[in-house]
Structures are given as structure tokens and as C-alpha cells.
Structure 1
Amino acid sequence: MAKAMTKTQLVAALAEEMGSDKKTAGAALDALTGIITKEVADGGAVTLPGVGKIYCRERPERMVRNPATGEQFKKDADKQVKVTVAKALKDSVNV
């Protein structure tokens, strides 16, 4: 498996694609991250065309088991961030 792209590498690639400097590309990436975080935290969803949909799912209260001890206990309701990958991205990977 290939190594994951770091933020520095992503900013450099974004700057090259945009034809701008790394500072502008870094600011754009930070702004995009902030917008996505705020929208999903507020219960909304964000669709990135060609990439996928990022949304928040609420999980109900449930019984879980500690695998070390076998003890069962009630876990409170919580929220979980989910990502649905776009068909275009899946198809580009499975060529």
C-alpha cells in the first residue's frame, strides 16, 4: 500500500493545480476543512463532487461488551461521522 499524502504534499499539489503559491493553497484547504467540519457538526452533509458525501449519523443507546472481561454495559447514544465514496472515484480506482 502506498504511503498516505501528507498535508504539506497535498498543499503543494493543490498549489500546482491552482497555479498559485502554497500559502494561498494552504488557506483554501484550511477554509474547506473548516466549512466541512462546521456543516457536519451541525448535523448537515457535504457532497464533494467526484469524491463522496460526508455526513453525521446518530447512533442510539445500546448494549456493548468489553472483550477483555466479557462484561456488558450500556453505551450512551452518540454521533459518528460517515463518508460515502462517490461512484466516479470507485470506478477510477478499479480500472
Structure 2
Amino acid sequence: GKEYIILSNAGGPKRENGMVHLARVEENGELTWLKHNPIQKGEFAYNSLQELGNGEYGILYEHTEKGQNAYTLSFRKFNWDFLSKDLISPTEAKV
């Protein structure tokens, strides 16, 4: 089977707009980025991804809603369909 990498990070120069990215590992070790999904609007800081089993993944991250302190932890679950739906075209970016 094919190998994939899931990466999460802020979607800009600040710690804002959390994204989850999906890349395929090619035979030569290059990564082909397939999808970039927004997962959290607004503040998005330190985060950790975990495979939960049954095709589900979890992400724990810092996010502040109005009235919360700046270090509130948030958790979301997502599945493979969220990661892979509507993959980008064959002009994929390689790294």
C-alpha cells in the first residue's frame, strides 16, 4: 500500500487558522501534497495529532474562544474522508 503523512499547523504567519494537510510519500522519498483542510478558524497554537483507530484521527490544540483564557485546549476528531475528499488535481505540489 501507499504511505501518507498527515501534518497540522497554523495556516499563516501567525498562530491562526489551523490546517490539516495530507501528503503521499513517493517511492523516491518525495512528498506529494494532496489536500489542505481548514480545521479551526481563529487562534490555533501548539497541537498534536493522534490516530484513534477505525479510520479516525484526533487533534488536540490550543484555541481561544471569546471569554476563555489564552491556553484553552480544544479537541476535534476527523476521518480519512475529511482528509482525502476532493483531492487536488494532477498538478500536485512536490517537495
TM-score (structure 1 length as normaliser): 0.25
Q: Which has the larger radius of gyration?
A: 1
**Higher helix content, 1 or 2:** 1
TM-score (structure 2 length as normaliser): 0.25
**Higher strand content, 1 or 2:** 2
Q: Which has the higher contact order (CA 8 A, sep 6+)?
A: 2
